A and B are shown apart, each in its own frame.
Chain A
Amino acid sequence: MISVQHISKSYRQGKGQVKALDNISFEVLKGELFGLIGPDGAGKTSLFRILTTLLLADQGIATVDDADVVKEYRHIRQRVGYMPGRFSLYQDLSVEENLQFFATIFNTTVAENYEQIKEIYVQLEPFKKRLAGKLSGGMKQKLALCCALVHRPDVLFLDEPTTGVDAVSRIEFWDILKRLKADGITVLVSTPYMEEAAKCDRVALVQGGKILSTGTPDELLKGFGQKIYAAKAASMLALLEALKQNALVKDAYPFGEYHHVILKEDRLDDLVHSLGMPDLEIMETSPDIEDCFISLMSH
């Protein structure tokens, strides 16, 4: 459905060049919920802009819905829905007017595709006369999604839809995406939140314009292949320092209320002994996507 092959893009910055995308390739299958996971500045937005025909790549070929993003951009513009990372609807038009506007420019009407957006729109309906600029953050995102869906696109591009949205709305948003997937829409979504990776069918971990790894969340976790320990002590800062300086430790980093520790060899007893902290609490834990990301990044 989406195919990206060897796409590169650089921006000029002063006299130098900044590589935003460096030879990126991946495929998204029809009806898949595909996540691009990576920190800010990883190149996610540039990739979205290339795929939605807003930006031309320096190198490489990309197709969306079997149409080339350069030659057949007209077809793509008919068939995709795009929700940019920044709220970009008309703030001085009401909810209803925004929706109508985007339906009309796609040559359709809200009534015709009401089924498609119904589930999301019912939550917005009480505020339909309100100006879009006056909506809460979560509501804005829902409206933007409605506007991106109102023409029944085959492919949906969502650039960081959950950034800056509260935890409850984020969960709701992912539920909506699951339902869209069930309707057969291919969804490409980007997010800087590692924990959201688990909600995608497949993910690509992106960093510095490169794809570090692609696969289902489970595959990525299996591919981690190292034992990981969670450590805790009264003074977390002192513990982290001690861990980092310890010769047995390969990597240690803060992770929630614990520090995650990866050992060079599986000699946990020796580590506990060498640290010599009476209040140390350490146990084996299962890795998550963030661990995968950190380990991939350090290679």
Chain B
Amino acid sequence: MRKLKFLLQKEFRQIFRNRSILRIIFVMPVIQLLVLPLAADYEVRDIHVAVVDHDHSAWSQKLVNKIDASGYFQVLQYGNSFERAMAQIENDRADLILEIPAGFEKTVIKEDKASLFMAVNAINGVKANLGAAYLQQIIRDFNGERRAEWIVYPRFDPEKIITVTSSNWYNPNMNYKFFMVPGILVILVTMVGSFLAAMNIVKEKEIGTIEQINVTPIKKYQFILGKLIPFWVLGMLVLSIGLLIARLAYHIQPAGGLLPVFVFSAIYLLAILGLGLLVSTFTSSQQQAILLSFFLMMIFILLGGLYTSIESMPEWARWLTKFNPVSYFIEVMRLVVLKGSGLKDIGPHLLIMSVFAVVLNSWAVISYRKRH
């Protein structure tokens, strides 16, 4: 016990002596949590539209005004040459082209139907998709309004009007920050847990101190605990700071209370530290450890459900996410923070994470050979 205490003391001493690491641990989360949620916005605004109007009628004017007034679109160009509009797309200035054919108003009135043409710049997939969807919605609305003006006898209205109103449960204002902040916090905690722990152990290998340690009576478990405990504590500290920032800056309070968050994080950190330990056993320099962790983090984040919803992934990717500890943490954070889930509700997650912790740590301990 005295040995372990001393190992911990040494570890903390080294961590607190390394100013740049300390800054990374404590300043980085603050900045990331303050800046990133503002930047990582799901809403698409300022979609640039080039309108090619061959009609120049009152209707086409109204339609363009409606699009402009929606707040999502900026009418970049208004003219009657499709080539010029296309040039805007080619120069990546416009995201959409809306072409209104000649005689649009006339055709609608006479034949009761007309076609509009829409060309979408799909280089930025998300923006293109959402932009096209918004635009269709606006055109549909516009269509409805015009009909309402024209139909004299409402009972003969050929279009059935069914409106769907929705209410957004758990996040009534669809505040994407409520969605992003817990997710970013998860990534920060994961980085402290896996990156730093892996680098720390590999550093001992790189500098050769592990040789010196191995020739002493220190036992394997003492050495490993001496490494895991400090980073567990740091991870919990970063989480606490992050939750404080979420509360002060974004008024985000876990609806399910702090207890489920901390209980889950405690187990999650064990799992992720096991992963860091595993990374360190497979690498022999800090450079390798960083690259390997970076690669793993990329996968974890992209398959973690932070930016893209897991439900919409293909079958095989959904299977992969089941082996991604980050996806569980993100889900739990959202459950607890937004939905107000308690310890009981996240029981299955706790169980799965415990399995992760046991498997990863045992694997790491087995492959960490004190005797080569």
- A22-B14 Cα distance, complex, nearest whole Å: 42
- A73-B216 Cα distance, complex, nearest whole Å: 10
* Segment 331-372 of B: residues with Cβ below 8 Å from A: 371-372
A contact residues around B3 at 8 Å (CB): 104-105, 107
Are A88 and B216 in contact, CB atoms less than 8 angstroms apart?
no
* Segment 207-223 of B: residues with Cβ below 8 Å from A: 207-209, 211-218
Are A88 and B372 in contact, CB atoms less than 8 angstroms apart?
no
One of A48-56, A202-210, A248-256 contacting the partner? A48-56
The 8 Å CB contact of A105, one of B17, B211, B217, B372, is: B217
Q: B319 near A: Cβ within 8 Å?
A: no
Chain B residue nearest in CB terms to A70: B371
Q: B10 near A: Cβ within 8 Å?
A: yes
B contact residues around A105 at 8 Å (CB): 3, 6-7, 213, 216-218
Known contacts A93-B14, A97-B13; is-contact A88 B211 (Cβ 8 Å): yes
Known contacts A88-B209, A101-B6; is-contact A54 B215 (Cβ 8 Å): yes
The 8 Å CB contact of A97, one of B10, B213, B217, B371, is: B10
Known contacts A77-B217, A105-B3; is-contact A92 B18 (Cβ 8 Å): yes
* Segment 41-67 of A: residues with Cβ below 8 Å from B: 52-56
Q: How far is the CB of B144 from chain A (nearest CB, A)?
A: 71
- A105-B372 Cα distance, complex, nearest whole Å: 21
Chain B residue nearest in CB terms to A103: B6
A contact residues around B2 at 8 Å (CB): 104, 107
- A100-B213 Cα distance, complex, nearest whole Å: 14
Are B13 and A93 in contact, CB atoms less than 8 angstroms apart?
yes
For chain B, which range describes its interface: under 10, 10 to 19, 20 to 34, or 35 or more residues?
20 to 34
Q: A222 near B: Cβ within 8 Å?
A: no
The 8 Å CB contact of A54, one of B10, B207, B214, B217, is: B214
Are A82 and B208 in contact, CB atoms less than 8 angstroms apart?
no
Are B10 and A84 in contact, CB atoms less than 8 angstroms apart?
no
A contact residues around B208 at 8 Å (CB): 84, 86-88
A contact residues around B6 at 8 Å (CB): 100-101, 104-105
- A105-B9 Cα distance, complex, nearest whole Å: 12
Chain A residue nearest in CB terms to B209: A88
B contact residues around A78 at 8 Å (CB): 217
B contact residues around A264 at 8 Å (CB): none
* Segment 1-54 of B: residues with Cβ below 8 Å from A: 2-3, 6-7, 10, 13-14, 17-18
Residue among A55, A104, A106 with most chain B CB within 10 A: A104
Known contacts A90-B10, A90-B14, A104-B3; is-contact A84 B216 (Cβ 8 Å): no
Residue positions of A touching B, CB distance < 8 A: 52-56, 73-74, 77-78, 80, 82, 84, 86-93, 97, 100-102, 104-107, 147
The 8 nearest A-B residue pairs measured at CB: A88-B208, A104-B6, A82-B215, A88-B212, A105-B216, A86-B208, A52-B215, A77-B217
A-B contact pairs, 8 of them (CB 8 A): A88-B208, A90-B14, A93-B17, A101-B10, A102-B216, A105-B3, A105-B6, A105-B217
